[in-house]
């Protein structure tokens, strides 16, 4: 077996060919991968059966086992996702802008791949196919290190993708699944500063902190989503209700679900009792500030300081009544995670102030926080969400796996002293 360094060296060598692939070729490779995954679905499902059996033996929860399972239907969905990525505009080679200097030099910025990307993730094996497709789309070679539970499935998907690459005359080293699923493998990978250009960890906070603390390579990370909705004094009550229900209840276990509801005190009496009643009917536990408790007696348990920065990922909601937009923004700045925040308002100035002053990765007016997603925002499939500001901030698509170089057209110019 190759060492991880050796795998990274091969990935780097493969990345050059990938970077200079013409757009239709890149598309052809992705379509070929999608077709091959469906044709060789049996290989994936029989590898997956082993993973699932081992997971059951280890006593993993039903939810975790469900995430692990790959059947023909799910493989078809995986292939459809890759076909969609294939159809999106090609980021590589795009000239972002161009300007002319007083000395006649034409200066432009052209998108190029990063080179080699390392993706470190936990249980879901479909990430293997998704991440590989996004990296190929953006011209990058990729090293994939998935969780131990899904190792057999990941290796099978990797083999099939490599087969498709080979059939298209490309190096199979462009997509490699690391066959070791322990922390040492991660540690070794994140030391390879000279070979790997970016590390994206996807998973629990423990995994991400381990990567950040040990990596010599830049890391794009996503710790948590403590998302807020602020219902302003002038909000349309029906709109606010619909947005709050969508943001909290539609899928409470994801990072763009609302965790804290802030309500302007001028509308709290008209809005909160009905809203809280609806949430209770939907099975949501409400943890409120004193004013919320007073307005909705019997339906609310008292919130403590520990509730404000908490990402419940569950049917629990913290609620606070605030004096005005300043107090709302100050609460978000103090307790938020810079992920996604929304204001519901009819007031033009407050809408603009919220958009300008809240520096989270996604800031919305009169829309659900659930739109904070690469697909929903029109980026195509999502490689991750960044809650730090370097390189990318918020949902990331294939374009965010590129950088820009300066290209300069001259006519013999030299620099004066």
Q: Enumerate residues 105-124 that contact a second copy by CB under 8 A.
A: 105, 107, 110, 112-115
Q: Say which DSSP state 338 is in.
A: S
Instruction: Using the minimum distance from each CB to a second copy, give the nearer residue, 129 or 211.
Output: 211
Sort residue 366 into left (φ over 0), alpha (ψ -120 to 50) or beta: left
Considering the complex, state which of residue 85 and residue 243 has its C-beta at the smaller distance from a second copy: 243
Q: How far, in Å, CA of 108 to CA of 405, rounded?
A: 8
Q: How far is the CB of 240 from a second copy (least distance, A)?
A: 9
Question: Which of residues 42, 46, 290, 409 is near a second copy by CB under 8 A?
Answer: 409
Q: Which residues contact 187 (CB under 8 A, 6 or more apart)?
A: 214
The answer to whether 158 touches 169, Cβ cutoff 8 Å, is: no
Stretch that binds a second copy, among 39-47, 56-64, 259-267, 352-360 (CB under 8 A): 352-360
> Could you say whether residue 404 binds a second copy (CB under 8 A)?
yes
Q: Which of 88, 350, 360, 399 binds a second copy (CB under 8 A)?
A: 360
Contact track, a second copy, 210-239, x by CB under 8 A: --xx--x-xx----------------x--x
**Binder among 148, 234, 324, 366 for a second copy (CB under 8 A):** 366
Q: Which of residues 1-40 bind a second copy (CB under 8 A)?
A: 16, 19-20
Among candidate residues 378, 387, 396, 339, the one with its CA nearest the CA of residue 119: 396
Q: State in angstroms the smallest separation of the CB of 410 from a second copy.
A: 3
Q: What is the DSSP string of 8-70?
A: HHHHHHHHHHHHT--HHHHHHHHHHHHHHHHHTHHHHHHHHHHHHHHHHHTT--HHHHHHH--
Q: Does 331 bind a second copy (CB under 8 A)?
A: no
Q: Among 328, 363, 381, 396, which residue sits at the site for a second copy (rule: CB under 8 A)?
A: 363
By beta-carbon proximity to a second copy, the closer residue of 184 and 213 is 213
Within 143-182, which residues bind a second copy (CB under 8 A)?
Answer: none
Q: Is 333 in the site for a second copy (CB under 8 A)?
A: yes
Instruction: Judge contact between 247 and 212, C-beta under 8 A.
Output: no
Per-residue x/- mask for a second copy, residues 244 to 263, rule CB under 8 A?
Answer: -xxx--x-------------
Options 197, 232, 233, 382; binder of a second copy; rule CB under 8 A: 197
107: which strand partners? 99, 408
Q: What is the largest CA-CA distance in the chain?
A: 80
User: What is the per-residue burial (b if ≥16 Cβ within 10 Å, else e) of 175-211?
Assistant: bbbbebbeeeebebbbbbeebbbbbbbbbeeebbebb
Q: 10 Å Cβ neighbour count for 6?
A: 10
């Amino acid at each position: 077996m190759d060492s991880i360094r050796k795998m990274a060296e091969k990935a780097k060598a493969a990345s050059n060919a990938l970077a200079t692939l013409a757009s239709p070729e890149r598309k052809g490779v992705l379509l070929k991968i999608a077709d091959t995954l469906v044709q060789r679905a049996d290989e994936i499902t029989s590898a997956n059966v082993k993973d699932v059996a081992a997971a059951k033996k280890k006593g993993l929860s039903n939810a975790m086992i469900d995430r692990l399972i790959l059947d023909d239907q799910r493989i078809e969905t995986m292939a459809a996702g890759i076909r969609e990525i294939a159809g999106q505009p090609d980021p590589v080679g795009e000239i972002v802008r161009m300007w002319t200097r007083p000395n006649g030099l034409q200066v432009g910025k052209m998108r190029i791949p990063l080179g080699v990307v390392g993706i470190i993730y936990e249980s879901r094996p479909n990430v293997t196919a998704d991440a590989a497709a996004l990296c190929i789309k953006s011209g990058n070679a990729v090293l994939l290190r998935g969780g131990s539970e899904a190792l057999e499935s990941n290796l099978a998907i990797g083999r099939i993708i490599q087969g498709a690459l080979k059939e298209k005359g490309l190096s199979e080293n462009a997509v490699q699944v690391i066959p070791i699923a322990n922390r040492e493998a991660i540690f070794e990978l994140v030391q390879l500063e000279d070979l790997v250009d970016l590390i994206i960890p996807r998973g629990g906070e423990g995994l991400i902190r381990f990567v950040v603390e040990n990596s010599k390579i830049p890391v794009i990370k996503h710790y948590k989503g403590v998302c807020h909705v602020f219902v302003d004094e002038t909000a349309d009550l029906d709109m606010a209700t619909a947005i709050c229900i969508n943001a909290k209840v539609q899928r409470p276990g994801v990072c763009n679900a609302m965790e804290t509801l802030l309500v302007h005190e001028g509308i709290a009496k008209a809005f909160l009792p009905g809203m809280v009643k609806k949430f209770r009917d939907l099975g949501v536990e409400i943890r409120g500030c004193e004013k919320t408790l007073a307005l909705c007696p019997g339906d609310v348990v008292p919130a403590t300081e520990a509730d404000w920065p908490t990402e419940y990922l569950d049917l629990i909601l913290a609620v606070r009544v605030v004096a005005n937009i300043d107090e709302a923004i100050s609460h978000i700045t103090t307790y938020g995670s810079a992920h996604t925040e929304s204001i519901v308002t009819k007031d033009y100035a407050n809408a603009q102030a919220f958009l300008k002053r809240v520096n989270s990765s996604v800031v919305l007016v009169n829309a659900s926080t659930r739109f904070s997603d690469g697909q929903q925002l029109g980026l195509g499939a999502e490689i991750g969400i960044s809650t730090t500001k370097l390189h990318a901030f918020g949902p990331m698509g294939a374009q965010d796996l590129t950088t820009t170089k300066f290209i300069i057209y001259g006519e013999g110019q030299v620099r004066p002293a």
